[in-house]
């Protein structure tokens, strides 16, 4: 795992996994010392931070490691160095091929399985579905305490909308390594998973008593507008009549930090008892981001809307993609 750690950075809110990077780099250094002690420079003082490698140093490492692996295909240290160096250079297809050889040489090494899953996920454009998920499961079977496998397992569960499983895995990762640098991004991801789990539970609960008189879906943000939404901005999710009054018949308040957001709107979210979602035949469903928190739309608010749709519609996709004028 390199200091880029691109796949972990793509996990929801996992934007600064410094502690995990340190673990992986420490593993690399220790394994290299164990298997090729003569090749290691004198140990630096414990207080000194490792100097970052330049691009030319990485390239030299790739050449040297490839030569060593070709000279002795059973040299796992050479394959480990090659895999990590290719990863640091951003060549993830090549890194996965090296990890494949390394995993065959070290089938009982949980860290190798986790690193392989990470690189393979990046090569799959950020998805951990399929073979990466199997590698993660294997890593956790070999070592239930492996921090990187726990983090990746949480991301894979989050991708599959298994939010409770994601929360449990991320909490285990924090218990294993409670570093401050790791805690903040992981706790943010846990909060997001909890929010989505609660929204899903709300949608399931709404469907029974309302007899299908609800609407549900997911709100996402156009990447071009993402930087304009602050964590504390108010997000209004609403359903309003397709014709006539513009007053919402269901309104949900969330925050910018909650986006993307799964939602469900029903009669419990009515603004007044006389105007309810279940009374409508067609509604427009939308989301609006207010920087001031005002219920009344204002210039500069960001919004998106779909419809008209009938109450009972699920699976809506609302993209916040334009500015209110």
94-151 pLDDT, tens digit per residue, is 888 888 888 898 999 999 999 999 888 888 777 888 899 999 999 999 998 999 999 9
Q: How far apart are the first and last CA of the chain?
A: 47
Look at residue 204 and tell me if it is in a domain: no
Are 34 and 174 members of one domain?
yes
pLDDT per position as a tens digit, 263-277: 888 887 887 777 888
* Cβ-contact 114, 135 below 8 angstroms: yes
Structural domain boundaries, residue 233 = 211-323
Same domain? For 176 and 235 the reply is no
**Cβ(267)–Cβ(239) below 8 Å:** no
Strand arrangement, sheet containing 322-323: 250-255, 234-241, 283-290, 302-309, 322-323
Say which CATH number the domain at 62 has: 1.25.40.10
Number of domains making up the chain = 2
Residue 1 counted as domain residue: no
Per-residue pLDDT tens for 156-196? 888 888 888 888 888 888 888 877 777 778 887 887 788 77
Q: Which residues pair with 251 in a beta bridge?
A: 238
d(CA 124, CA 130): 10
22 with 59, same domain: the answer is yes
Instruction: Tell me whether residue 199 is in a domain.
Output: no
Is 144 part of any domain?
Answer: yes
Residue 268 pLDDT:
78
**pTM higher than the cut 0.85:** no
pLDDT value, residue 111: 92
């Amino acid at each position: 795992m390199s200091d880029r750690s691109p796949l972990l950075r793509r996990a929801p809110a996992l934007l600064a996994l410094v502690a995990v990077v340190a673990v992986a780099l420490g593993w690399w250094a220790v394994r290299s010392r164990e298997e090729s002690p003569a090749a290691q420079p004198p140990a630096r003082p414990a207080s000194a931070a490792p100097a970052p490698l330049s691009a030319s140093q990485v390239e030299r490492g790739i050449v040297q490691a490839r030569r060593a692996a070709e000279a002795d295909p059973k040299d796992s240290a050479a394959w480990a160095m090659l895999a990590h160096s290719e990863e640091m250079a951003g060549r993830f297809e090549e890194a996965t091929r090296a990890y494949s050889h390394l995993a065959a040489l070290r089938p009982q090494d949980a860290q190798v399985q986790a690193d392989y899953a990470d690189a393979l996920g990046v090569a799959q454009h950020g998805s951990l579905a399929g073979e990466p998920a199997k590698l993660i499961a294997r890593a956790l079977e070999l070592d239930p305490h492996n921090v990187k496998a726990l983090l990746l397992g949480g991301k894979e569960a989050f991708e599959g909308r298994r939010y409770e499983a994601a929360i449990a895995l991320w909490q285990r990762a924090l218990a294993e390594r409670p570093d401050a640098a790791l805690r903040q991004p992981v706790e943010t991801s846990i909060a997001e998973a909890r929010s989505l789990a609660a929204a899903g539970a709300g949608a399931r609960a709404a469907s029974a008593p309302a007899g299908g008189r609800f609407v549900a879906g997911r709100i996402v943000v156009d990447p071009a507008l993402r930087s304009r939404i602050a964590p504390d901005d108010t997000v209004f999710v609403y359903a309003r009549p397709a014709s006539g009054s513009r007053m919402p018949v269901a309104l949900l308040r969330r925050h910018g930090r909650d986006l993307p957001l799964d939602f469900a709107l029903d009669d419990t979210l009515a603004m007044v008892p006389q105007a309810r979602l279940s009374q409508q035949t067609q509604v427009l469903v939308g989301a609006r981001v207010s920087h001031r928190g005002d219920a009344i739309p204002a210039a500069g608010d960001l919004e998106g809307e779909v419809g008209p749709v009938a109450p009972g519609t699920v699976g809506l996709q609302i993209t916040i993609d334009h500015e209110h004028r």
